[in-house]
Amino acid sequence: TELDKTLNELKIAEEIFKKVNADLTRLNEELKNEQHHHDHLERQKRLLDSQLKELQLRLDQAEATVQRVGQKTVDQLQQLIIARNNELDSEQKRHKEIIRQLNKSEREVREKQFQVEEQRKCCSKMHELIEKLQAKIRVYKKQTEEAEEVAAMNLQKFRQIQSQLDEAEERADEAENSLLRVRSKIRVNATPNALSSSRSSAHLPRAASSAYISSNNLGK
């Protein structure tokens, strides 16, 4: 029936709504985790920027020292510069990797935010659908109750008519039985009269004939 179909649609819609809510909760948790990861990368970036500035400052100081001390310590300072340059290259590579991860994290955060928004829209639509289905079910229930009331009234009328019909049939049976008893009684009474008329004088047949006609009319 249409009501069963609507109830089934409501059940399916509620299951979808629960699943969407679960997905929304999961996405919110993932978004929160991504945000924490993003903040961690930001802190690492600031730390690396500070380290790079410190290394650059130390490199500048080393170069200034080379200029001050003279050729005697040039080789040592050159090695120090090379080491510092290597450290700087390594830190720059790490910095680039952090930037790459940070950009990736930002993209993932935007994607999660978009998914959360889509899930919220889906939840809103499912909620509207459930409200419509519930309203339809209320209408169907009201129509069913009205139909049951009409059916009860019709059943009561049918029972009344059936009772009247049974009473009429009983009266008809009684009338038919009464008629049969009258006819049987007339036939019993008419037979002796006919025999008596055949044995009487010639002027009696007219009276017997009249009695027979009367009995036939009563039988009819």
pLDDT in tens, 5-53: 777 777 777 787 788 777 777 887 887 887 888 788 888 888 888 888 8
User: Using the 8-state DSSP alphabet, how is residue 18 labeled?
Assistant: H
Listed in sequence order, the residues at least 6 apart from 44 whose beta carbon sits closer than 8 Å to its beta carbon are: 98
Neighbouring CB atoms inside 10 A of 136's CB total: 16
| Mean pLDDT value of segment 47-67 | 80
| Mean pLDDT value of segment 152-174 | 84
211-215: long-range contacts at Cβ-Cβ below 8 A with a sequence spacing of 24 or more? 215/186, 215/187, 215/189, 215/190
Instruction: Decide if 90 contacts 68 (C-beta within 8 A).
Output: no
Model confidence at 190, pLDDT cuts 50, 70, 90, reads: low
Using the predicted structure, report yes or no on whether residue 148 has a pLDDT greater than 80: yes
User: Looking at 38-47, 68-77, 138-147, which range is the least confident one?
Assistant: 68-77
Q: What is the pTM of this model?
A: 0.40
Instruction: Decide if 216 contacts 182 (C-beta within 8 A).
Output: no
| Mean pLDDT value of segment 68-89 | 77
Cα 83 from Cα 110, distance rounded (Å): 40
Instruction: Decide if 109 contacts 38 (C-beta within 8 A).
Output: yes
Model confidence at 66, pLDDT cuts 50, 70, 90, reads: low
Per-residue pLDDT at 189: 73
CATH number of 2-166: 1.10.287
Cα 59 from Cα 81, distance rounded (Å): 7
Instruction: Decide if 84 contacts 58 (C-beta within 8 A).
Output: yes
Cα 177 from Cα 185, distance rounded (Å): 12
pLDDT tens for 192-219 read: 555 555 444 444 444 444 444 334 443 3
pLDDT tens for 105-142 read: 888 888 888 887 888 887 788 888 888 888 888 888 88
Listed in sequence order, the residues at least 6 apart from 14 whose beta carbon sits closer than 8 Å to its beta carbon are: 130
Per-residue pLDDT at 213: 38
Per-residue pLDDT at 73: 66
Please tell me the number of Cα atoms within 13 Å of 133 on its side-chain side: 19
Per-residue pLDDT at 191: 61
